[in-house]
Amino acid sequence: MNRCVIVGGADIGDPERITGLLYPGDVFVYCDSGLRHREVLMRAPDLIVGDFDSSVLPEETGAETIVLPCEKDDTDTAFAVKEMLRRGYRDFLLLGATGGRIDHTLGNLSLLMLLDSAGARGMIADDRSLITLVSSDVPSTVSDEWAFFSLLAAGGEATGVTVTGAKYPLTGATLTPEFPLGVSNEVLPGQTAEICVTGGRLFLIRDRD
């Protein structure tokens, strides 16, 4: 099954960098004010969801549309993720998901944990960063094309954290939400950093600048 791209309403300031991440077969879900990104992403919606409290639903889009109530438990983006999981998608890219309201940014980060718990893969991309989740199932790598990378405990402490190929290596460390030990590491020139965790989960943030 193709990847699902979910587009939120936060700013996209570098469309060229973002469109470079897209695949021809991606399925696009636009959430409410995320519809404003249609032209810069150059992709038509396959599905539109939202309560449209922050935008106006276009009259004719040719796409399936789910109109949500304004008062609900899920954000529009969370509803979109759950709906596409229900439809069988297991690979997700979230755009327009960070950099706007901090509450929405933190909520969207939690969706990476929701996806991981559902056995799916998720990534959030913005103008300067890629954010993924590291769990005990699969090690993650970072190439030296990235200026920095950071590791932050996700949803509780992460144990057995090992980092190799980096300026600041770790062996069997414990990272907690209270102490951001893993911020601003660097891949050694010509190497690839590898991150493993034996318990808990980590946010892995790759930063270009």
Rounded to whole angstroms, the Cα distance separating 59 from 76 reads 19
Rounded to whole angstroms, the Cα distance separating 110 from 152 reads 13
| Domain range list for the chain | 4-127, 133-207
Point out which residues pair with 140 in neighbouring strands.
Answer: 195
Calculate the alpha carbon distances from 99 to 2, 102, 202 in Å: 27, 7, 20
Rounded to whole angstroms, the Cα distance separating 196 from 151 reads 11
CATH topology for 4-127? Rossmann fold (3.40.50)
pTM summary value? 0.93
pLDDT value of residue 137: 74
Burial class (CB in 10 A: 0-12, 13-18, 19+), 175: buried
Q: Cα 153 from chain centroid?
A: 15
> Among 137, 117, 125, which residue's Cα sits nearest to residue 196?
137
> Among 9, 17, 43, which residue's Cα sits nearest to residue 125?
17
pLDDT value of residue 70: 79
Query: Mean pLDDT across the stretch 191-205?
Result: 97
Domain 4-127 identical in fold to domain 133-207 = no
Tokens of 206: 């790759």
What are the pLDDT digits (tens) for 129-187? 999 999 987 889 999 999 999 999 999 999 999 999 999 999 999 999 999 999 999 99
What are the pLDDT digits (tens) for 71-97? 788 899 999 999 999 999 999 999 999
What are the pLDDT digits (tens) for 16-65? 999 999 999 999 999 998 999 999 999 999 999 988 876 666 666 778 98
pLDDT value of residue 71: 78
pLDDT value of residue 18: 94
Per CATH, is 133-207 categorized as 2.60.120.320? yes
pLDDT value of residue 59: 64
pLDDT value of residue 60: 67
3-state secondary structure 11-39: CCCCHHHHHCCCCCCCEEEEEHHHHHHHH
Position 41, amino acid: L
Tokens of 16: 């060229």
